[in-house]
Amino acid sequence: MLWIVDADYSDTDHAHAIVHLLDSYASDPMGGHSTLSDFVKDNLVSELAKRNTVHVILAFDEETPVGMIVSIEGFSTF
Amino acid sequence: MLWIVDADYSDTDHAHAIVHLLDSYASDPMGGHSTLSDFVKDNLVSELAKRNTVHVILAFDEETPVGMIVSIEGFSTF
């Protein structure tokens, strides 16, 4: 069964899913053909968690992470 | 004397300064030649305050607001 959920950064499975999915994207030719740096792997989730203008949604097929949206709000003063 | 300060959204003088300075900018031909809408005037400061990725710095000449930076963080996942 496919299920879609707001990412909970304190949930280890979600945190691993975020890094895994982003690493898969970055490793693909479309994403730059290079794995994530250790710095990104180590800090991404905690840095996302600090920002209340970021919203991450995850998709799982049973226990397997299969999709993700990282949305970062744009804001204009007028 | 010129003084520069991190904006405190709960300070009425700072809140008025933000709206006044942005309205002055918007009213100038460079800023679009149109005053701020009432919606922006009413909601801008409270909306800035909600976002921890926004940082506003004000400059005053004695009691007169004379300058402002509204900085909105950009964030890249990798």
> Which CATH code of 3.30.390.30, 3.40.50.10540, 3.40.50.2300, 3.40.630.30 fits the domain covering B2-72?
3.40.630.30
Q: Over the stretch B20-56, which tens digit does the pLDDT of each residue have?
A: 999 999 999 998 999 999 999 999 999 999 999 999 9
Cβ B69 vs Cβ B57: under 8 Å: yes
Closest residue in chain B to residue A54, using alpha carbons only = B75
Mean residue pLDDT across chain A: 96
Closest residue in chain A to residue B69, using alpha carbons only = A77
Closest residue in chain A to residue B25, using alpha carbons only = A78
Chain A environment of B69 (Cβ under 8 Å):
none
What letter represents residue B66's amino acid? V
Could B75 and A77 be called an inter-chain contact, meaning their C-beta atoms sit closer than 8 Å? no
Residue A23's nearest CA partner among A71, A73, A68 is: A68
Instruction: State the pLDDT confidence band at B19, using cuts at 50, 70 and 90.
Output: very high
pLDDT score recorded for residue A41:
97
Cβ A36 vs Cβ A19: under 8 Å: yes
pLDDT score recorded for residue B70:
97
Taking the alpha carbons at both ends of chain B, their separation in whole angstroms is 43
Stretches where chain A sits below pLDDT 70 are none
Check: complex ipTM more than 0.90: no
SS3 at position A44: helix
* Token pair recorded at residue A68: 């993700």
pLDDT score recorded for residue A49:
97
Mean residue pLDDT across chain B: 96
Angstroms from A68 CA to nearest CA on chain B: 12
Instruction: State the pLDDT confidence band at B63, using cuts at 50, 70 and 90.
Output: very high
Which residues, at least 6 apart from A2, have a Cβ–Cβ distance to it below 8 Å? A59, A60, A61, A66
Could A47 and B73 be called an inter-chain contact, meaning their C-beta atoms sit closer than 8 Å? no
Angstroms from B23 CA to nearest CA on chain A: 9
Angstroms from A14 CA to nearest CA on chain B: 16
* Token pair recorded at residue A36: 């994530």
